[in-house]
Amino acid sequence: MADETFKIYLPRMVHGDWPIGHKLIADKGIHDAVRNPHGAVSVVLPDGQLLGVKPDEFEEIEGLESVEDIAERTFPEEVAWLRRNKDSLVPHIDSDRTVGKTDWDRECQESGRLNRGKTW
């Protein structure tokens, strides 16, 4: 194994190819990785084994990214909307002092935003 590790982000679960590494699995998320002398990238699994990943299966991360940065890259429109409307997302208190629906709840219900097929 190479001495220098770096971080990569896997946008989905990756498993090895048949017949060599088909039992090796790397979950979606941020992982340590190494590069061999030819430039091929492998995920370092928790047990120390290496699982090679194809260029379209990962994104290299310069430094450890925050969840907010990953969300902004993955869902830019939704994050921009949340930032614009952050003050209205806190539940408001109705006149009878009960907590009512947030503007976010009403907006999602009216626009059908919750049924667009994206997972949050």
Report pLDDT for 96.
Answer: 46
pLDDT bin (cut points 50, 70, 90) of residue 54 is very high
Over range 9-17, report the average pLDDT: 91
Tokens of 112: 């059908």
pLDDT in the model for residue 81: 86
Query: Rounded distance, CA 99 to CA 118, Å?
Result: 28
Mean pLDDT score of the chain: 77
CA atoms 7, 28, 59, 81: torsion sign: negative
Residue 97, pLDDT score: 44
Span 64-69, average pLDDT:
66
Q: In the predicted model, is pLDDT for residue 46 greater than 80?
A: yes
Q: What are phi and psi of 77, to 5 degrees?
A: -65, -45
| Domains along the sequence of the chain with CATH | 6-61 (2.30.30), 75-112 (no CATH)
Q: What is the pLDDT of residue 74?
A: 84
Alpha helices in 38-102 (DSSP H): 67-74, 76-84
Query: Angle, to 10 degrees, between the axis of helix 76-84 and the axis of helix 67-74?
Result: 110
What is the share, in percent, of the chain residues with pLDDT greater than 90?
30
List phi, psi (to 5°) of 9: -115, 125
Q: What is the CA radius of gyration of the chain?
A: 21
Q: Which of 46-55, 57-66, 95-104 has the lowest mean pLDDT?
A: 95-104
